[in-house]
């Protein structure tokens, strides 16, 4: 009979140190679960309190590496630990990262939906609902990127390469721009 520590749960759920249900299976770069014992990508630690500059830098590195699921975790930490006045911004950026994740995994409908929802949330910040470029992010460019990617995914009907289609949080619409 297996357990989370011996190759996988049989009739039991994986639990973290506090007893909460947590899937211990390794994950690939897009956050998809792999078989127990498979070589996976290191998980992004959850609940890390980072400053906004570090959040943007770490998220960009993960996006550039084709790991939007992990970037979403970084944005989610900012959304949950940052000031209430900024939560909508970080939540919108997290939605964009999840939208890219779904588009790369082949869940095209979910990807398009989340890209558009995230673009709507971030657009409020891009249009001056706070400082014009919070943390030096090019939010207007990020919104344009998300809308273009959603249109491309909807039109082409194929999964995208997450690294090749990663947004540039501080300028340009995609890598190489």
Q: Which of 16-30, 53-67, 71-85, 114-128 has the lowest mean pLDDT?
A: 16-30
When pLDDT is averaged across residues 61-78 and rounded to a whole number, the result is 96
Element housing 140 (H / E): helix 139-156
Q: Which of 32-41, 107-116, 126-135, 165-174 has the lowest mean pLDDT?
A: 126-135
| Helix/strand/coil for 15 | strand
CB 52 within 8 A of CB 85: no
* Distance from chain centroid for Cα 144: 17
| Helix/strand/coil for 112 | helix
Q: What is the pLDDT of residue 47?
A: 79
Angle between helices 87-105 and 52-64 (to 10 degrees): 10
Helices (H), ranges, 10-107:
52-64, 68-81, 87-105
Identify the DSSP state of 132: S
Give 159's pLDDT tier (boundaries 50, 70, 90): very high
The encoded tokens of residue 52 equal: 């906004």
Residue ranges of the domains in the chain?
Answer: 1-43, 52-156
User: pLDDT tens-digit profile of 98-134?
Assistant: 999 999 999 999 999 999 999 999 998 887 655 667 8
Q: Specify the CATH number for 52-156; select among 3.40.50.300, 3.10.520.10, 1.10.3450.10, 3.40.309.10.
A: 1.10.3450.10
């Amino acid at each position: 009979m297996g357990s989370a520590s011996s190759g996988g749960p049989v009739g039991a759920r994986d639990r973290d140190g506090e007893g909460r249900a947590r899937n211990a299976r390794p994950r690939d770069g897009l956050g998809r679960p792999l078989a127990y014992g498979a070589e996976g990508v290191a998980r992004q630690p959850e609940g890390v309190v980072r400053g906004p500059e570090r959040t943007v830098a770490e998220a960009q590195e993960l996006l550039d590496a084709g790991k939007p699921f992990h970037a979403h975790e970084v944005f989610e930490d900012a959304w949950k630990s940052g000031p209430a006045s900024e939560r909508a911004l970080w939540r919108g950026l997290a939605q964009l990262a999840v939208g890219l994740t779904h588009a790369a995994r082949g869940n095209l409908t979910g990807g398009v939906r989340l890209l558009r929802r995230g673009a709507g949330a971030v657009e409020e910040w891009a249009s001056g609902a706070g400082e014009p470029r919070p943390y030096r992010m090019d939010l207007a460019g990020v919104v344009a990127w998300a809308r273009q990617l959603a249109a491309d995914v909807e039109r082409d009907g194929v999964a995208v390469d997450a690294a090749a289609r990663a947004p540039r949080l501080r300028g340009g619409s995609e890598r190489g721009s």
